[in-house]
């Protein structure tokens, strides 16, 4: 089986994972090609299209060719996005990326990526000249039709890639040698020493004796402490003392040891003490793309296109407001709809305030006329997620504070299951599909799904707050 560039990058990130994928595909946890992955692939083609458009307009256009394949006798397979065959016999290589800078470290080291391509081209008999990484220009702001010349940055990375060639050659040999082996140590893998964010889907295969939940369910576990637990073969939370973990990890461990949720009513009360009515439960959906879809946006800059807002007054009255853009546009109408719905006083309740506040600050920077309103929202924002980080923690959350993880445990009657659109990535994809959908009925169905999903996000917050209030009342 040939070693492709994608395989090689996987090898650099984790040799065992590549081995398992190639040698035991029947047990390798292939994820489906997610909607998000499809979007990235589509965007990659779009960016390549602009590179092609640009190159074909150059005086020396005939020197360029695209998707050039190099296959070598020792098993390398490379497809280079664009090559230039120069009159001096050298070949320049161009790797096209949808990022806004050249990435030079794992998990996707684009310099190594280019080094692999250069080595494959050389082994296939080419004399390689310059090596470019073509990426998006972060400073580009769309104004009318996309201007490929301004959109793209041609970074000459010849020197940095050449400096990596010897090292990359050795790594390629190691990768090829690994793939010759029919057996490796499948009894564990190096991610035992790393927190869960680093684990891939093969973790369970290589570490079948690690229980669930385990020490990896402790939030932000890592470093010397994790290494100590692992070296002492203590993976079970029952073997970990409360005095051995951080304040943030203690609620998770307490819940495990007590066999019931950890509750700190005083902590929850502190949250309620800073609330001012009416309460505005707010959630945004955003769309980011390699090629900005509206004027005024830069590559990969998020565009808020939807919000859901539940308003809870002091007497328990609940009203719902929502907005969903019917076309790709700057969020003027969205902001105006928010201004209509959000009064001058009252707390803004969100889940993970970093995300919502980032959108508000970005919009404030883009629309100075609305800055007072949007930055005022930032000032008034409280994060309901904090309650489920330290005030009420169930081991069934498995160390996560994602609302998608908390909600089914705390309020199993409220569920995202079975929804046409059930997470932020699907919402982003659903909105793009809605805009492109010519059939009115299908478009209306997508619109309905988007509205239902976002509404559930804020209704879930309302209900989770009620749940937290119930704890205080009962205490
Ligand atoms: S979990 Fe194991 S197989 Fe997966 S990346 Fe980490 S070391 Fe590799």
Q: Report the phi/psi class of residue 300: left, alpha or beta, with left for phi > 0 and alpha for psi in -120 to 50.
A: left
Nearest to 76 by CA among 183, 171, 156, 181: 171
On whether residue 451 sits in a domain, the answer given is: yes
On whether residue 343 sits in a domain, the answer given is: yes
Q: What are phi and psi of 441, to 5 degrees?
A: -65, -45
In three-state secondary structure terms, 374 is helix
User: Are 176 and 292 contained in the same domain?
Assistant: no
Domain encompassing residue 50? 3-180
Cα distance between residue 176 and residue 3, in whole Å: 7
pLDDT value at position 106? 83
How far is the centre of ligand 1, averaged over its atoms, from the C-alpha of 229 (Å)?
A: 18
User: Are 281 and 174 contained in the same domain?
Assistant: no
The closest-lying atom of ligand 1 relative to the alpha carbon of residue 20 is: 3
Q: Which residues contact 442 (CB under 8 A, 6 or more apart)?
A: none
Q: What are phi and psi of 105, to 5 degrees?
A: -145, 165
On whether residue 186 sits in a domain, the answer given is: no
| From 18, 187, 189, mutation site for ligand 1 pocket: most ligand atoms within 8 A of C-beta | 189
Cα distance between residue 449 and residue 411, in whole Å: 21
User: Are 325 and 422 contained in the same domain?
Assistant: yes
User: Are 159 and 289 contained in the same domain?
Assistant: no
Handedness of CA 19, 21, 22, 24 (dihedral sign): positive
pLDDT value at position 41? 87
Q: CB burial class (10 A; 0-12, 13-18, 19+) of residue 139?
A: exposed
pLDDT tens, N- to C-terminus, the chain (475 residues):
789 999 999 999 999 999 999 999 999 988 766 677 888 889 999 999 999 999 999 999 999 999 999 999 999 999 999 999 999 999 999 999 999 999 999 888 999 999 999 999 999 999 999 999 999 999 999 999 999 999 999 999 999 999 999 999 999 999 999 999 999 999 999 999 999 999 999 999 999 999 999 999 999 999 999 999 999 999 999 999 999 999 999 999 999 999 999 999 999 999 999 999 999 999 999 999 999 999 999 999 999 999 999 999 999 999 999 999 999 999 999 999 999 999 999 999 999 999 999 999 999 999 999 999 999 999 999 999 999 999 999 999 999 999 999 999 999 999 888 899 999 999 999 999 999 999 999 999 999 999 999 999 999 999 999 999 999 999 8
ipTM over 0.95: yes
Q: Which residues contact 261 (CB under 8 A, 6 or more apart)?
A: 255, 392, 393, 394, 395
On whether residue 256 sits in a domain, the answer given is: no
CA distances from 419 to 246, 403, 414, 437 (A): 37, 16, 11, 20
User: Are 141 and 281 contained in the same domain?
Assistant: no
User: Are 447 and 322 contained in the same domain?
Assistant: yes
> 283 forms bridges with which residues in the sheet?
308
User: Are 417 and 288 contained in the same domain?
Assistant: yes
The closest-lying atom of ligand 1 relative to the alpha carbon of residue 199 is: 1
Cβ atoms of 453 and 427 within 8 Å: the answer is yes
Residue that terminates a domain, selected from 155, 180, 205: 180
Centre a 10 Å sphere on the Cβ of residue 312 and count the other Cβ atoms it contains: 22
User: Are 283 and 137 contained in the same domain?
Assistant: no
For residues 251-273, one letter each, b for 16 or more C-beta atoms within 10 angstroms of the residue's C-beta and e for the rest, the string is bbbbbbeeeebbbbeeebeebee
For residues 158-181, one letter each, b for 16 or more C-beta atoms within 10 angstroms of the residue's C-beta and e for the rest, the string is bebbeebbeebeebbeebbebbee
Residue that terminates a domain, selected from 147, 180, 213: 180
Residue that terminates a domain, selected from 180, 202, 233: 180
Give me the number of domains the chain comprises.
2
The closest-lying atom of ligand 1 relative to the alpha carbon of residue 203 is: 1
Q: For residue 138, is the peptide bond before it cis, meaning its omega torsion is within 30 degrees of 0? A: no
On whether residue 210 sits in a domain, the answer given is: no
On whether residue 189 sits in a domain, the answer given is: no
Q: Which residues contact 207 (CB under 8 A, 6 or more apart)?
A: 188, 189, 191, 192
On whether residue 302 sits in a domain, the answer given is: yes
How far is the centre of ligand 1, averaged over its atoms, from the C-alpha of 133 (Å)?
A: 28
The closest-lying atom of ligand 1 relative to the alpha carbon of residue 190 is: 7
Q: For residue 213, is the peptide bond before it cis, meaning its omega torsion is within 30 degrees of 0? A: yes
Q: What angle do CA 310, 312, 315 make, to 5 degrees?
A: 160
pLDDT value at position 33? 63
How far is the centre of ligand 1, averaged over its atoms, from the C-alpha of 189 (Å)?
A: 6
Q: The domain spanning residue 304 has which CATH number?
A: 3.30.420
pLDDT value at position 32? 62
How far is the centre of ligand 1, averaged over its atoms, from the C-alpha of 204 (Å)?
A: 9
Cα distance between residue 100 and residue 109, in whole Å: 14
How far is the centre of ligand 1, averaged over its atoms, from the C-alpha of 301 (Å)?
A: 31
User: Are 280 and 166 contained in the same domain?
Assistant: no
> Residue with structure tokens 């994820």?
31
**312, containing H or E segment:** strand 303-312
pLDDT value at position 108? 87
Ligand 1 neighbours (beta carbon < 6 A): 14, 16-17, 189-191, 199-200, 202-203, 206
The closest-lying atom of ligand 1 relative to the alpha carbon of residue 17 is: 3
Cα distance between residue 49 and residue 54, in whole Å: 9
Per DSSP, the chain holds a count of helices (H) and strands (E) of: 17, 13
User: Are 293 and 427 contained in the same domain?
Assistant: yes
Cα distance between residue 76 and residue 116, in whole Å: 9
How far is the centre of ligand 1, averaged over its atoms, from the C-alpha of 200 (Å)?
A: 5
On whether residue 191 sits in a domain, the answer given is: no
Q: The domain spanning residue 86 has which CATH number?
A: 3.90.320.10
In three-state secondary structure terms, 120 is helix
User: Are 41 and 143 contained in the same domain?
Assistant: yes
């Amino acid at each position: 089986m040939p070693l492709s560039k994608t395989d090689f990058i996987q090898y650099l990130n984790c040799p065992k994972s590549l081995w398992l994928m190639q040698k035991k595909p029947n047990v390798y946890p292939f994820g489906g090609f997610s909607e998000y992955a499809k979007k990235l692939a589509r965007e990659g083609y779009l960016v390549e299209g602009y590179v092609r458009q640009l190159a074909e307009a150059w005086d020396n256009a005939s020197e360029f060719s695209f998707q050039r394949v190099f296959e070598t006798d020792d098993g390398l397979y490379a497809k280079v996005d664009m090559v230039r065959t120069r009159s001096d016999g050298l070949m320049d290589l161009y790797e096209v990326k949808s990022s806004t800078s050249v990435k030079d470290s794992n998990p996707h080291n684009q310099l190594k990526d280019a080094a692999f391509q250069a080595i494959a081209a050389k082994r296939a008999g080419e004399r390689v000249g310059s090596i470019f990484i073509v990426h998006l220009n972060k400073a580009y702001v769309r104004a009318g039709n996309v201007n490929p010349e301004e959109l793209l940055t041609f970074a000459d990375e010849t020197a940095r890639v050449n400096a990596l060639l010897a090292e990359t050659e050795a790594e390629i040999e190691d990768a090829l040698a690994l793939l010759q082996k029919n057996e490796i140590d499948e009894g564990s893998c190096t991610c035992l020493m790393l927190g869960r964010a680093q684990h891939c889907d093969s973790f369970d295969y290589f570490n079948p004796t690690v229980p669930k939940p385990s020490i990896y369910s402790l939030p932000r576990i890592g470093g010397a402490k994790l290494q100590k637990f692992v070296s002492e073969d203590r993976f079970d939370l029952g073997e970990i003392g409360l005095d051995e973990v951080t304040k943030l990890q203690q609620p998770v461990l307490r819940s495990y040891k007590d066999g019931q949720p950890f509750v700190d009513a005083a902590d929850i009360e502190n949250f309620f003490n800073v609330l001012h009515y009416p309460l505005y439960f707010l959630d945004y959906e955003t769309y980011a793309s390699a090629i900005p879809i509206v004027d005024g946006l830069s590559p990969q800059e998020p565009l808020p296109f939807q919000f859901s807002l539940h308003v809870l007054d002091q007497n328990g009255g609940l009203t719902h407001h929502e907005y969903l853009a019917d076309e790709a546009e700057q969020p003027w109408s969205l902001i105006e709809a928010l201004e209509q719905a959000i009064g001058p006083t009252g707390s803004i309740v969100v889940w993970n305030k970093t995300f919502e506040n980032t959108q508000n600050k970005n919009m404030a920077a883009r629309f100075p006329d609305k800055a007072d309103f949007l930055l005022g929202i930032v000032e008034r924002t409280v994060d309901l997620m904090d309650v489920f980080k330290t005030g009420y923690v169930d081991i069934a959350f498995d160390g996560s504070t994602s609302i998608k993880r908390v909600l089914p445990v705390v309020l199993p009657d409220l569920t995202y299951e079975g929804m046409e659109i059930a997470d932020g990535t699907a919402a982003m994809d659903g909105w793009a599909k809605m805009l492109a959908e010519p059939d009115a009925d299908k478009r209306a169905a997508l619109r309905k799904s988007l509205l239902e999903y976002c509404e559930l996000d804020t209704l879930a917050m309302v209900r989770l707050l009620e749940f937290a209030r119930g704890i205080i009342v009962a205490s």
